[in-house]
A = this chain, B = another copy of it.
Amino acid sequence: MRLVEVEHVVALVADRGLETVLADLVDHIEADFRRWDEFDKSPRFASHSPGGVIELMPAADARAFGFKYVNGHPGNQAAGLQTVTGFGVLADVATGYPYLIAEMTLMTAMRTAAMSVLAARHLARPDARSMALIGLGAQSEFQAVAFHALLGIEELVVYDVDPAATDKFRRNLDARDIRVRVAASAPEATEGADIITTATADKRHATIVSANMVGAGVHLNAIGGDCPGKTELQPAILDRASVFVEYLPQTRIEGEIQQMPADFPTTELWRVIAGEAPGRRHRDEVTLFDSVGFAIEDFSTLRYLAEATAAPHLHREVDLLAQPADPRDLFGVLGRLPVANHA
């Protein structure tokens, strides 16, 4: 059984380059979205507490069962802890044996950026070259690198309420050939942008982007509105935009469309990717990817890791299964133990 820790993911990214890993994640998610109907899509299990939520997100096809453990604790950051951490598991459906446990803290950030790029390929104008990026938290650099490397974004105009976040963002992208301009406000950042990405951590109904900031033909990539009570866009934007979602039953509860009536029209993105529904229909259309993160994306990511981490320096072998030669002889695994009376 293979354990992929944070250090192994860092080594994988060092070996292959972040851009290549992101490109491979896009390919894996795209392949799985194309075969959407093959997946067992269960609702996630959520355990709520005053401080946040712990979720188990399962997804399975005929060969593999996967799930991700993920938490969301908005108060963590003030204590110097991450808001979101996670790990994932893949198991063999035929035997029930798990074969991969992997960190999904870094990988979730990468798969979220890969998913954004996959959506933008179908929804943004093909000649999009500039992106506004509002909210420079843990997800921001991954979005920046993914859109630059995989979608041809040449200029980023960025904004965060906290100058320290902006400094961190610039420092992290320093070594990369990405043009970054810092705006003094969100409206300034969005001015003239072909794509607007929002990735703020504010846990309430906030108006990060209002309708007057969104010009004709813009694609909105809304990452931060991802749980009940947390949205980033003014409802008037939703009325103007063609809205695309991952999995409607989940997005209704967690996405930007929680602000809208239950019959608000949307398109599930897999239908666009599979060629069953149109993506962007004309240059002036405003498109919105209302991203909340779905279990199949994590499944694709775990599937990628299972393929990519076979080399000995990219994982550690661990044993959680015992595997006695005679399966009925589990007791024998304990060996010949000293008998009794140890207390």
Contact = CB atoms under 8 A, between A and B. Distances in A.
A94 interface: yes
Contact of A331 (B52, B60, B141): B141
Contacts of A103: 319-322
Nearest to A340: B19
Contacts of A97: 71, 81, 85
A306 interface: no
Contacts of A139: 330
A185 interface: no
A322 to B, nearest CB: 4
Interface residues on A, range: 35 or more
A241 interface: no
Interface stretch (A1-9, A228-236, A243-251): A1-9
A183 interface: no
B327 A83 contact: yes
Contacts of A316: 318
Given A6-B319, A85-B321, A333 B51 contact: no
A10 B333 contact: yes
B82 A330 contact: yes
Among A23, A139, A327, the one with the most B-chain Cβ atoms within 10 Å of its Cβ is A327
Contacts of A96: 51-54, 71-73, 76, 85
Interface string A91-115: 1011111100111111001000000
Interface stretch (A39-47, A123-131, A208-216, A261-269): A39-47
Contacts of A98: 69, 85, 87
Interface stretch (A168-176, A217-225, A282-290, A296-304): A168-176
Interface in A112-138: 136-138
A237 B13 CA distance: 62
A312 interface: no
A6 B322 contact: yes
A17 B343 contact: yes
Contacts of A20: 342-343
Interface string A262-280: 0000000000000000000
Contacts of A177: 339
Given A42-B47, A319-B7, A176 B93 contact: no
Given A52-B96, A58-B47, A10 B335 contact: yes
A151 to B, nearest CB: 14
A324 interface: yes
Contacts of A83: 327
Nearest to A40: B47
A330 B93 contact: no
Contacts of A91: 54, 69, 71
Contact of A328 (B3, B87, B89, B165): B165
Nearest to A343: B20
Contacts of A10: 333-335
9 contacts: A14-B337, A16-B343, A19-B342, A56-B58, A76-B96, A85-B96, A103-B322, A106-B333, A139-B330
In the complex, the 3 A-B pairs of residues with the closest C-beta atoms, listed nearest first: A71-B96, A17-B342, A141-B331
